[in-house]
């Protein structure tokens, strides 16, 4: 069965960040890159042309679809920075309510500026997501 469409690319995260047009997104990405490296202990890798990911895990659905995807990461988008914490936020509603000025989807938090959020709480959320993924999936540093 086909895997994920978003796959690792041989691009350098620092070069991708340097090309981010929006000054706030670029500045936030320059903070997030070492932030995620410190938390995960893993090197950054580009997933597709815009997602900076850390670690990977192997998934297999009941349907037979399987593949690999990043465990955590971020993407400096035009309107906001998306932070990805897998497996999502089903048990993080209390933390999300306290995080600050954000919008969120199933597994991403959209942030206009890092100054709008509690970075210590974000670190806790990333660490919780890492622990869950490492306990429940086959994970790799890169």
**How many other C-beta atoms lie within 10 A of the C-beta of residue 42?**
21
Query: What CATH architecture does domain 8-137 belong to?
Result: Alpha-Beta Complex (3.90)
For tokens 């622990």, what's the residue?
131
Q: pLDDT at position 95, please?
A: 87
- Dist. CA 96–CA 88, nearest whole Å: 11
pLDDT in tens, 8-64: 899 999 999 999 999 999 999 999 999 999 999 999 999 999 999 999 998 888 898
Q: Decide: helix, strand or coil at residue 123.
A: helix
Indicate whether 3 pLDDT > 70.
Answer: no
**How many other C-beta atoms lie within 10 A of the C-beta of residue 53?**
25
Q: pLDDT at position 1, please?
A: 43
Structure tokens at 79: 């309107």
pLDDT in tens, 74-110: 999 999 999 998 776 567 788 888 999 999 887 889 9
Full-model pTM? 0.90
pLDDT in tens, 123-138: 999 999 999 999 988 8
More confidently predicted of 100 and 5:
100
Q: pLDDT at position 93, please?
A: 81
- Say which DSSP state 91 is in: T
Q: Exposed/middle/buried for 124, CB within 10 Å: 0-12, 13-18, 19+?
A: middle
């Amino acid at each position: 069965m086909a895997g994920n469409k978003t796959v690792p690319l041989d691009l350098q995260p620092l070069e991708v960040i340097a090309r981010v047009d929006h000054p706030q997104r670029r500045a936030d990405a320059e903070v997030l890159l070492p932030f995620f490296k410190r938390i995960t202990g893993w090197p950054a890798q580009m997933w597709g042309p815009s997602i900076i990911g850390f670690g990977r895990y192997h998934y297999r659905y009941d349907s037979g679809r399987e593949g690999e995807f990043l465990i955590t990461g971020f993407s400096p988008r035009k309107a906001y920075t998306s932070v990805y914490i897998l497996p999502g936020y089903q048990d993080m509603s209390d933390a999300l309510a306290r995080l600050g000025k954000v919008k969120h989807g199933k597994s991403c938090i959209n942030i206009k500026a890092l100054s709008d959020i509690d970075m210590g709480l974000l670190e806790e959320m990333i660490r919780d997501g890492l622990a869950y993924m490492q306990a429940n999936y086959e994970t790799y540093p890169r």
